[in-house]
């Protein structure tokens, strides 16, 4: 590819990114901070990272793992445990004499640490589990997630985890820029990985393990790499989620969370990062904001609209998801990604067609 | 400096009571093209699969440049069922997993074509270079390995050009017609920089002209890359044209071996292929 | 001996819940054996049966409600297969599993919606919820009936599989899906039968389970479902006696753990067992090792 064209693309991409952040900044000035839009943007960005990291593992490497919630849990707890300020520790760990950890890390190192700790857990879990066939891998990882959840609620570990009590008082973010920036950087790294030689190796493993091995790709090592890196970012997304929710409790990280993330992966398209990001925002927007009305008992005059009541939103949602899974199982984007080339090509085609029609007429 | 690239010693494969490969011993010499032929069901693909590690043989040993890469002796239930002699002794094998065989220089194609369907033609060949690149996850992700990527991409372009696939390099591998898919598989195998090339029925489904081109291609490639070639094939014209040495299997047993002329005139071989007339 | 005496209530509870897990586990193992699908929605079917009983028994007498619940559960199981699994039979395995997860998600959300998130109390079924005295410890009749009923039903099922035509068809399909079709076996009928039997047993299981653990919530099915699946894997997927044995072992062990005071790990025990079996012997206790032909 021409160097000048390459440069143009880089500048264009950079401009788009700067434009996006500029837009966010402007929105923050204009709208009240309690607006639902910001809730959706913040949670959407966090889930985008969680979904992309799961897509890396399930969609790009073909490893059907259901342990996501467990890894997010580890990340969330690691962040919270290591950032609760000293003054607050006694109150938070009230049943455990202020807990064992008597120091606090600054935010960014803590987030990185949460990723690292999660990756370490993932590495150890991966050793026995990655050899298993796909169905068994799914159940084994699900099982590990449940074991992790039980451990983090165990009273004996209270001095570290606060047992079954929630963790709070740790530093949180206020601006929507923060989660976007952190998720954005992480997703960018994942995209770099996917487009690298290792990404190709992962896709080869997904397509045909036997052939991949015959081409010199060590299955165990590469599966382990994919698993560990995916979990690192799952841990980071857990830390961000902890910051967003301002309190963390192990019992919230159930298998349902993993199922939701998996369903978002499917909606966006297994094997498409763009799809995962779009679907995350769509999902969060629908479930937190747009479809809220489905939950409210509405009356038109004195006529009670049937079906609309608490919980209908999720039922509606589940039906939509089933329709996508059954009929559109390639998701929104299939395996395609957003690319400037495609966008420009699309416009060029329309332009050419117009010109042809003009000259023909 | 050994002359023998691949050596099979008393290789036996038994499925339950069925003896698929019976005490097979053969040698593949360096820079030569060696072929394994025989009627259908003779055990050729089974033997091939034992060499490449798909099956674990019931007994016997496979040596690559005098290093044992496959070795087994009858264990457990097999001890009673084993119908052969020459039980192997326990040996340390140097490769734990199949990818190590490829790293040591053994490449293969697949009879059923196993291309990476979701990758492009170019990426299929590129991914075969992955293990030969000096990199780790970090340098690869942050593109610090750009020199390696450049080198490797140029090599792949060359391989594709040799096969006449360069103009199709951005097509999805699954979209190619059958004949081109076969060529792509071979290009991919060559990308692993092998010393020994194992070909499993490379001419399957090809017409006589394509088979001829393939024959010439194999000889050219052998000369260009200093390869040793071991192939299984049914197309006799291909085998007789290019082989330096031929081994003939029938019902799992080695019944003859030698140069193409010797094998063609061997009565046992003729009987095996044409069948012996039943006594009236 | 003293150990057994001390922990008798727990062991009895274990045998009881083990039988209930067994009835659910059979559904998992049969479906997996034929379709190689982990029916994530099976546990939620079990929960749905519980809710159906709650609502039906409020308006109908029990001797009508019970058979009706069983019938409705079977119909629901049949419908799930037709709507969510049959269309994806040719799709890659991951798609069907995702569909199962989607169905599970749907059932749980629907249950939440219908009950507005309030837990419901299971009706008391006379006779079986009476207390009786077993070896010096007080427990309900359910605890005694469950293992007996389970074994009777399992025996009937094994007989069905071994001695009837449909049973033979089921065995053939779980050996080799494609060839069975080529041999003229009506795949859809066999698969439907499998789901019908599994749902029937799950409905019976829910009757027994919720009589003991009377609170029914939308998530009441996920844990028993997962544990039943682990039991199926432990016993060897595709083996019905294996699933039953595995279920009893899990039921008894987890209750003993409760008895020893390690309540937090009550659930985790099952998963630890799963991981051990997957590492040590993935084919389970009675499973067969299958060699893949290249």
Please choose, from the candidates A215, A276, A339, the residue with its C-alpha nearest in 3D space to the C-alpha of residue A207. Answer: A215
- Residue in A with minimal Cα distance to B99: A216
Q: In Å, what is the CA distance from B117 to each residue of A205, A267, B176, B182? A: 11, 22, 10, 13
Question: Quick one: pLDDT at residue A339?
Answer: 67
Candidates A128, A260, A326; nearest CB to C99: A326
B98 contact residues in A (CB cutoff 8 A):
213-214
Task: Please give the Cα distance from C154 to C174 (Å, whole number).
Answer: 18
Q: Is the pLDDT of residue C106 over 50?
A: yes
Task: Please give the Cα distance from B38 to B23 (Å, whole number).
Answer: 16
- Tell me whether C230 touches chain A (CB under 8 Å): yes
B152 contact residues in A (CB cutoff 8 A):
197
Question: Quick one: pLDDT at residue C291?
Answer: 45
Q: Which chains touch B (3 or more CB pairs under 8 A)?
A: A
**Greatest Cα-to-Cα distance within chain C, rounded to the nearest angstrom:** 60
Q: pLDDT tens across C189-228, in order?
A: 899 999 999 999 999 999 889 888 888 888 888 889 889 9
Task: Please give the Cα distance from A44 to A62 (Å, whole number).
Answer: 25
DSSP string, A164-228: TSPB-------STHHHHHHHHHHHHHHHHHHTSHHHHHHHHHHH-HHHHHHTT--HHHHHHHHHH
Q: How close is the nearest chain A Cα to the Cα of C255, in Å?
A: 16
- Tell me whether B128 touches chain A (CB under 8 Å): yes
Please choose, from the candidates C199, C158, C290, the residue with its C-alpha nearest in 3D space to the C-alpha of residue C237. Answer: C290
Q: In Å, what is the CA distance from A44 to each residue of A29, A180, A289, A315? A: 20, 9, 12, 21
Q: Given pLDDT bands bounded at 50, 70 and 90, which one contains residue B83?
A: low
Question: Quick one: pLDDT at residue B32?
Answer: 92
- Tell me whether B220 touches chain A (CB under 8 Å): no
Average pLDDT over residues C20-25: 93
Calculate ∠ Cα C225-C230-C233, nearest 5°.
130
Judge whether B139 and B145 are in contact, CB under 8 Å.
Answer: yes
Q: How close is the nearest chain C Cα to the Cα of A115, in Å?
A: 24
Candidates B98, B116, B140; nearest CB to A213: B98
Task: Please give the Cα distance from B124 to C130 (Å, whole number).
Answer: 69
Q: pLDDT tens across B247-273, in order?
A: 999 888 899 999 999 988 888 888 877
Average pLDDT over residues C18-36: 90
CATH code: domain B1-105+195-280 is 3.40.50.300
The range of the structural domain enclosing residue C72 comes to 30-225
> DSSP 3-state assignment of C138?
strand
Q: Given pLDDT bands bounded at 50, 70 and 90, which one contains residue C143?
A: confident
Q: pLDDT tens across A290-321, in order?
A: 777 777 766 676 666 667 777 788 888 888 88
Please report whether residue C194 resides in a domain.
Answer: yes
Q: In Å, what is the CA distance from A338 to each residue of A277, A329, A341, A344? A: 11, 19, 9, 11
Predicted ipTM of the assembly: 0.87
Interface contacts (A, C; CB < 8 Å): 120
Task: Test B118 with A201 for CB contact under 8 angstroms.
Answer: no
| Burial annotation A20-55 (CB, 10 A radius, 16+ → b, else e) | eeeebeeebeeeeeeeeebbbbbbbbbbbbbbbbbb
C32 contact residues in A (CB cutoff 8 A):
135
Q: How close is the nearest chain A Cα to the Cα of C191, in Å?
A: 19
Helices (H), chain B: 44-51, 77-81, 98-104, 121-127, 137-141, 146-162, 178-191, 208-225, 236-242, 260-264, 267-274
Q: Which chains touch A (3 or more CB pairs under 8 A)?
A: B, C
A204 contact residues in B (CB cutoff 8 A):
116, 119, 127
Calculate ∠ Cα C111-C115-C117, nearest 5°.
90
Q: pLDDT tens across A192-241, in order?
A: 999 999 999 999 999 999 899 999 999 999 999 999 999 999 999 999 99
- Residue in A with minimal Cα distance to B143: A196
Query: For residue A252, how many other CB atoms are within 10 A of its CB?
Result: 17
Which contiguous run of DSSP H or E holds residue C244?
Answer: helix C240-260
Candidates A132, A139, A321; nearest CB to C102: A321
Task: Please give the Cα distance from A153 to A77 (Å, whole number).
Answer: 11
Q: Is the pLDDT of residue B124 over 90?
A: yes
DSSP string, C217-231: -TTTTHHHHHHHHHH
Q: How close is the nearest chain A Cα to the Cα of C81, in Å?
A: 13
Give C85's contacts (C-beta < 8 A, 6+ positions apart): C35, C37, C96, C99, C100
Candidates A192, A214, A219; nearest CB to B102: A214
Q: How close is the nearest chain A Cα to the Cα of B105, in Å?
A: 10
Q: pLDDT tens across B150-165, in order?
A: 999 999 999 999 888 8
Judge whether A309 and A339 are in contact, CB under 8 Å.
Answer: no
Q: Is the pLDDT of residue B9 over 60?
A: yes
- Tell me whether C102 touches chain A (CB under 8 Å): yes
Task: Test B118 with A192 for CB contact under 8 angstroms.
Answer: no
Please choose, from the candidates A150, A161, A146, the residue with its C-alpha nearest in 3D space to the C-alpha of residue A101. Answer: A161
Candidates B97, B135, B188; nearest CB to A215: B188
Candidates A196, A211, A219; nearest CB to B116: A211
- Tell me whether C47 touches chain A (CB under 8 Å): no
Q: In Å, what is the CA distance from C68 to each residue of A101, B161, C62? A: 58, 71, 9
10 Å CB burial of residue C171 (0-12, 13-18, 19+) is middle
Average pLDDT over residues C57-81: 91
Average pLDDT over residues A86-109: 81
Judge whether C250 and C20 are in contact, CB under 8 Å.
Answer: no
A215 contact residues in B (CB cutoff 8 A):
99, 102, 127-128, 130-131, 188, 191-192
Q: Is the pLDDT of residue B278 over 60?
A: no
Give C131's contacts (C-beta < 8 A, 6+ positions apart): C138, C139, C140, C141
Beta partners for B18? B15
Interface contacts (A, B; CB < 8 Å): 100
Task: Please give the Cα distance from C170 to C189 (Å, whole number).
Answer: 10
Task: Test B116 with A203 for CB contact under 8 angstroms.
Answer: yes
Domain segments of chain B as ranges:
1-105+195-280, 114-193
- Tell me whether B182 touches chain A (CB under 8 Å): no
Task: Test B140 with A193 for CB contact under 8 angstroms.
Answer: yes
Candidates B135, B152, B192; nearest CB to A216: B192
Mean pLDDT of chain A: 85
Task: Please give the Cα distance from C205 to C211 (Å, whole number).
Answer: 10
C264 contact residues in A (CB cutoff 8 A):
150, 153-155
Please state, for a pLDDT cut of 90, what percent of chain C lies above it. 29
Please choose, from the candidates C154, C132, C111, C128, the residue with its C-alpha nearest in 3D space to the C-alpha of residue C23. Answer: C154
| Residue to test with chain C: of A214, A311, A323, A331, most C Cβ within 10 A | A311
| Residue to test with chain B: of A1, A214, A219, A227, most B Cβ within 10 A | A214
Q: Specify the pTM.
A: 0.87
């Amino acid at each position: 590819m021409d160097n000048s064209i390459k440069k143009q693309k880089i500048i264009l991409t950079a401009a788009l990114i700067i434009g996006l952040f500029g837009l966010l900044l402007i929105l923050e000035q204009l709208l009240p901070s309690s607006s639902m839009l910001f809730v959706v943007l913040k949670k959407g960005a966090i889930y985008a990272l969680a979904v992309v990291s799961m897509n890396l593992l399930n969609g790009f490497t073909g490893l059907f793992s259901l342990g996501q919630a467990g890894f997010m849990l580890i990340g969330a707890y690691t962040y919270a445990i290591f950032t609760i300020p000293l003054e607050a520790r006694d109150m938070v760990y009230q049943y455990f004499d202020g807990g064992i950890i008597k120091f606090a890390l600054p935010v960014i190192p803590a987030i990185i640490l949460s990723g690292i700790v999660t990756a370490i857990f993932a590495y150890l879990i991966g050793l026995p589990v990655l050899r298993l066939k796909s169905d068994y891998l799914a159940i084994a990882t699900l099982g590990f997630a449940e074991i992790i959840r039980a451990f983090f609620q165990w009273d004996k570990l209270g001095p570290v985890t606060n047992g079954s009590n929630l963790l709070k008082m740790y530093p949180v973010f206020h601006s929507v820029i923060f989660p976007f920036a952190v998720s954005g950087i992480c997703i960018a790294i994942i995209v770099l990985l996917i487009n690298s030689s290792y990404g190709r190796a992962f896709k080869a493993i997904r397509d045909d393990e036997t052939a991949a091995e015959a081409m010199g790709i060590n299955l165990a090592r590469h599966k382990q790499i994919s698993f560990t890196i995916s979990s690192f970012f799952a841990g980071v997304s857990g830390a961000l989620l902890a910051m967003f929710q301002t309190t963390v409790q192990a019992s919230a990280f159930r298998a349902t969370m993993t199922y939701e993330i998996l369903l978002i992966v499917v909606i966006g398209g297994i094997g498409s990062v763009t799809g995962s990001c779009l679907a995350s925002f769509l999902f969060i927007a629908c479930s937190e904001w747009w479809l809220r009305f489905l939950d409210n008992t509405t009356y038109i005059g004195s006529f009670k609209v049937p079906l609309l009541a608490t919980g209908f939103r999720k039922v509606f949602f589940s039906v939509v998801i089933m329709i996508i899974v059954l009929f559109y199982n390639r998701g929104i984007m299939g395996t395609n990604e957003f690319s400037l080339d495609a966008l420009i090509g699309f416009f060029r085609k329309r332009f050419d067609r117009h010109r042809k029609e003009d000259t023909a007429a | 400096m050994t002359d023998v690239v691949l050596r099979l010693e008393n290789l036996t494969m038994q499925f339950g009571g069925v003896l698929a490969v019976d005490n097979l011993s053969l040698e593949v010499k360096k820079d030569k093209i060696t072929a394994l032929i025989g009627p259908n069901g003779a055990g050729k693909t089974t033997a091939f699969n034992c060499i490449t590690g798909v099956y674990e043989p019931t007994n016997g040993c496979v040596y690559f440049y005098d290093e044992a890469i496959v070795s087994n002796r009858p264990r457990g239930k097999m001890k009673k069922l084993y119908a052969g002699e020459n039980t192997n002794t326990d040996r340390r094998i140097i490769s734990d997993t199949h990818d190590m065989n490829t790293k040591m220089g053994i490449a293969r194609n697949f009879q059923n074509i196993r291309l990476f369907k979701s990758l492009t033609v170019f990426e299929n060949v590129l991914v075969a270079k992955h293990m030969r690149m000096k990199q780790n996850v970090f340098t690869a992700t942050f593109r610090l390995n750009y020199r390696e990527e450049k080198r490797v991409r140029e090599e792949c372009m060359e391989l594709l050009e040799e096969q006449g696939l360069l103009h199709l390099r951005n097509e999805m591998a699954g979209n190619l017609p059958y004949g081109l898919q076969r060529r792509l598989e071979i290009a991919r195998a060559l990308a692993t920089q092998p010393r020994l090339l194992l070909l499993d029925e490379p001419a399957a489904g090809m017409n006589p002209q394509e088979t001829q081109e393939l024959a010439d291609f194999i000889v050219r490639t052998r000369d260009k890359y200093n390869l040793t070639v071991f192939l299984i094939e049914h197309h006799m014209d291909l085998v007789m044209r290019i082989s330096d040495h031929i081994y003939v299997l029938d019902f799992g047993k080695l019944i003859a071996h030698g140069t193409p002329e010797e094998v063609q005139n061997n009565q046992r071989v003729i009987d095996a292929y044409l069948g012996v007339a039943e006594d009236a | 001996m003293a150990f057994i005496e001390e922990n008798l209530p727990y062991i009895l509870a274990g045998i009881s819940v083990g039988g209930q897990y067994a009835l659910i586990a059979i559904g998992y193992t049969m479906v997996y054996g034929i379709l190689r699908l982990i029916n994530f929605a099976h546990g939620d079917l079990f929960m749905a049966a519980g809710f159906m009983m709650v609502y039906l028994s409020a308006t109908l007498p029990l001797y009508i409600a019970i058979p009706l619940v069983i019938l409705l559960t079977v119909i629901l199981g049949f419908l799930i297969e037709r709507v969510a699994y049959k269309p994806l039979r040719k799709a890659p395995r991951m798609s069907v599993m995702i569909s199962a997860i989607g169905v599970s998600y749907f059932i749980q959300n629907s249950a939440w919606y219908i009950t507005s998130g309030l837990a419901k109390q299971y009706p008391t079924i006379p006779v079986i919820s009476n207390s009786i005295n077993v070896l010096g410890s007080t427990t309900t009749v359910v605890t005694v009936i469950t293992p007996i009923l389970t074994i009777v039903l399992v025996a009937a099922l094994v007989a069905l599989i071994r001695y009837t035509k449909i049973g033979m068809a089921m065995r053939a399909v779980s050996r080799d899906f494609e060839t069975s079709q080529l041999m003229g076996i009506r795949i859809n009928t066999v698969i439907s039968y499998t789901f019908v039997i599994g749902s029937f047993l799950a409905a019976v299981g829910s009757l027994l389970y919720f009589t003991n653990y009377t609170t029914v919530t939308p998530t009441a099915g996920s844990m028993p479902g997962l544990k039943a699946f682990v039991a199926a894997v432990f016993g060897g997927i595709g083996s019905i006696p294996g699933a039953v044995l595995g279920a009893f072992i899990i039921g008894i062990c987890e209750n003993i753990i409760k008895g020893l005071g390690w309540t937090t790990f009550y659930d985790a025990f099952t998963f630890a067992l799963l991981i051990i079996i997957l590492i040590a012997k993935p084919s389970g206790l009675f499973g067969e090792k299958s060699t893949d032909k290249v």
